[in-house]
Structure 1
């Protein structure tokens, strides 16, 4: 065995040596905002059928009550990660990171890092630092080692991020952190079919399942199990099998990538945000009765076109249920125009099936624009034309939206979103949760998770 540290061992050493004091104030604030945003999204998703199904499965499987479930109950760290992660992800309303050839949702790491931190009885500062590490790993791998073009899902990079963050939150040694990463990284290479063609419940569960595996890998490493040291650069490792050559000098990495992530204003796939905001601005400015609309034409960047506009990942005009609706630009634009918003209620079965939205979405045409594509990911540029049946044409152009890196969402803006998503639970409890997150670096993690365990929701009507 070589004495020279492999890439994953260098990563483990960097994660182990990371220091809270190396985080900028901007990064600390960004982390807390993303925890608030994701917890609000998770609370708003507790009524979702897949989330309820996973709660029943978790109850049936049992397991020692070590870690808190959002909405009450306790289970093992890995099963808590899966349930809480499913709640964070189900509405498809959490944050995103835009690399040139990869888009992921780094707040998916909150569930595994929170479970590991609660299990280790860590304080809020340890949790936030470990979360910053998870963000950094996933985002940097997305920058230099994209996998979508090779037919794999962005959860591939997530396995490395979730394991690194969870292992650091659990207080493991650098060598144990490296082993956790290797086990998770070797075991979780999900196919991109998760998000192409006919979509299923698993679209929202792929990352929670990967994160569950990452926490399990962390537990294995804690108990002395080793993984392949050359998971990145070795024979049939990540580079050889999927990504090709890449390099990251972990010693030179900071903890600031969280500040480059963006938050969703609308409950819609991330690449749709600027176009939805633009169409709503056009609607408010001109308001044309829906029955008088002949066509809505969206010219946008290639990633949006390919993923949600009818490009390489399949047609987007046959919409029957939530998973198809929230990954269809025609549906989201049609629903936004008709209802003046895109929130969880726009994905209820009754709303999706109504004739008004089904008819209007057929009038939405999406095309890619090479100039806009070159401006991505620094911008989310688009142009919208609305043509009426009597031949009038109204236009609007956008380069970003409220929540993008150029127009970040403040704590107060996020509180509006949070309060809207948590209307179904006790208002005093929601405020106490928000206040605890606001001061998270000064409290124990269990102070937050105990509050999350007190949440009770009313049954939501479909």
Structure 2
């Protein structure tokens, strides 16, 4: 007993060697969390919404490249259920597939700050590990998974509040890797030293580059980059559990550390309190799969549609006022070559919404892009920064994502719409909830029967039963094989 106590003390002492941001993440992830009502309710919505996004993605072109494992026979004998399919996978492959499907259509929840990202990307690792542990006899409940979700969101989002990787050309999925590594290591039973090892190795990976999100390299990698990051975080967690060493000064070592290599010497910052702020302020994509900096612009355009649809020939120009982050990411001129180009182009999204009064995933496909009016309207657009929009985007009590769209006609008259907060914002949460549930049901209709959808939604609405439900039963409910088990789950 004394030797064991001494070993624990020595390992805790070793933790002090790590850079402070890593120690802070380790302490937060390793300690019990007791989320309040708002955090748990919002986490429940995030989980359901992630499954909805995954279901919608199964119909998307290109998804077949990632389903069933990358290599033939890779997933033979795997136990991880891939929701919405008859497939099962190995642990790492399952994390990759689940994470990629959730992220595929750019329809999942979002958090915007100095860095951007989609915290539900971490569900690739979280759900795969939960399913894996259940198969090993350690039954986790939905409530357990929601707590892990909240922690992963908090790690990724709080790092995003204070650090910008994109300014240096690196992609935000590095934060998915870090958060997934931390939470997965904890879920797998790792102590503080193991969690620290996993997190430090995730930071040591750095990258990837953001080039696949921007002209002229915009491409489909952005649909699976998050699944890759989440499964990589899980791999690093597994290695840490087996005793793989960590790198205590990975952030601060002169020349070779992350600060000097990525940030031109500026230290990685993590000064904020880690609690439940990120899940409580998460942004949902409720009505359309648009890059989140464009959500309010699309809302404006949809509102304007009926007023301008019969006056297209009369338009002189279209003035879009936005915030600095949107200009940096989605202000695009010139040819758009593919889906990935179009769903990250502010002008394209606004043009489609003005023309059709809606924006769906299909509107990014080649068939819609052939409409000559889209490029005609894009050519009339002027995008400028509104300083108030940029300032309030970063203010902690506002966190707005404002846009305005003004259509000016040749006769000199004009009409304008402006939104500070998109429908998925915390300030519009109650307005959004029924539409989020409708979004889920509509997405589920693509692959499930009405009876199965009713069972899923019934469970979700009975929170006491929902929180106590085993995660394996919840995941089997979404599996295409297992109707008899699904019925038992719904009645339990």
- Please report the TM-score for the alignment, with normalisation by the length of structure 1: 0.90
What secondary structure is seen at the aligned counterpart in 2 of 1:114? helix
What secondary structure is seen at the aligned counterpart in 1 of 2:103? helix
Do residues 138 (structure 1) and 156 (structure 2) align?
yes
CA deviation vs aligned residue, 1:160-197 (integer Å, no higher than 9, x gap): 11111222333322222222222222224211212111
Do residues 104 (structure 1) and 122 (structure 2) align?
no
Corresponding residue for residue 489 of structure 2: none
Contact 1:159–1:188 (CA under 8 A) maintained in structure 2: no
Q: CA deviation at 1:274?
A: 0.8
Within the candidate set 301, 305, 308, 2:327 is matched to 305
Corresponding residue for residue 53 of structure 2: 41
Q: Which deviates the most, 119-128 or 402-411? A: 402-411
Contact 1:86–1:204 (CA under 8 A) maintained in structure 2: yes
- Change in 2 beyond 3 A, CA 1:288/1:305: farther
Alignment of 1:284-299 (within 5 A): 284-285=306-307, 287-299=309-321
Q: Which deviates the most, 33-42 or 349-358? A: 349-358
Separation (CA, whole Å) in 2 of partners of 1:392 and 1:24: 50
Alignment of 1:19-30 (within 5 A): 19=33, 22-30=34-42
Separation (CA, whole Å) in 1 of partners of 2:326 and 2:410: 27
CA deviation vs aligned residue, 1:90-127 (integer Å, no higher than 9, x gap): 1111111111x211111111121111111111221221
Corresponding residue for residue 369 of structure 1: 386
Separation (CA, whole Å) in 1 of partners of 2:316 and 2:481: 46
Alignment of 1:26-425 (within 5 A): 26-58=38-70, 60-63=72-75, 64-70=77-83, 71-99=85-113, 101-121=114-134, 122-198=140-216, 199-235=218-254, 236-243=256-263, 244-248=266-270, 252-265=273-286, 266-285=288-307, 287-310=309-332, 315=333, 317-377=334-394, 378-408=399-429, 410-425=432-447
CA deviation vs aligned residue, 1:42-95 (integer Å, no higher than 9, x gap): 100102222211115446142341211122211112111111111111111111
Separation (CA, whole Å) in 1 of partners of 2:415 and 2:115: 33
- Change in 2 beyond 3 A, CA 1:407/1:221: same
Q: CA deviation at 1:225?
A: 1.8
Q: Which deviates the most, 296-305 or 52-61? A: 52-61
Q: CA deviation at 1:341?
A: 0.8
Separation (CA, whole Å) in 2 of partners of 1:162 and 1:72: 25
Please, which runs of 5 or more residues in structure 1 have no aligned partner? Answer: 457-462
RMSD: 2.2
Contact 2:142–2:471 (CA under 8 A) maintained in structure 1: yes
Corresponding residue for residue 452 of structure 1: 478
Corresponding residue for residue 4 of structure 2: none
- Change in 2 beyond 3 A, CA 1:455/1:420: farther
Separation (CA, whole Å) in 2 of partners of 1:294 and 1:82: 47
Q: CA deviation at 1:13?
A: 3.2
Contact 1:120–1:171 (CA under 8 A) maintained in structure 2: no
Q: CA deviation at 1:147?
A: 1.1
Contact 1:72–1:452 (CA under 8 A) maintained in structure 2: no
Q: Which deviates the most, 286-295 or 325-334? A: 286-295
Separation (CA, whole Å) in 1 of partners of 2:421 and 2:149: 26
Separation (CA, whole Å) in 1 of partners of 2:174 and 2:424: 26
Separation (CA, whole Å) in 2 of partners of 1:213 and 1:18: 25
Separation (CA, whole Å) in 2 of partners of 1:400 and 1:239: 34
Contact 1:436–1:448 (CA under 8 A) maintained in structure 2: no
- Please report the TM-score for the alignment, with normalisation by the length of structure 2: 0.85
Q: CA deviation at 1:358?
A: 3.1
Contact 1:292–1:389 (CA under 8 A) maintained in structure 2: yes
Alignment length (residue pairs): 447
Please, which runs of 5 or more residues in structure 2 have no aligned partner? Answer: 1-9, 135-139, 483-492
Corresponding residue for residue 460 of structure 1: none
Separation (CA, whole Å) in 2 of partners of 1:421 and 1:35: 14
Separation (CA, whole Å) in 2 of partners of 1:365 and 1:57: 44
Separation (CA, whole Å) in 2 of partners of 1:357 and 1:455: 43
CA deviation vs aligned residue, 1:285-340 (integer Å, no higher than 9, x gap): 56543333332210111111121113xxxx3x412321011001111011111121
Q: CA deviation at 1:345?
A: 2.0
Contact 2:404–2:418 (CA under 8 A) maintained in structure 1: yes
What secondary structure is seen at the aligned counterpart in 2 of 1:263? coil
Between structure 1 and structure 2, the one with the greater Rg is 2
CA deviation vs aligned residue, 1:246-304 (integer Å, no higher than 9, x gap): 44368x52133211111113210000011111121122456543333332210111111
- Change in 2 beyond 3 A, CA 1:72/1:181: farther
Contact 2:80–2:89 (CA under 8 A) maintained in structure 1: yes
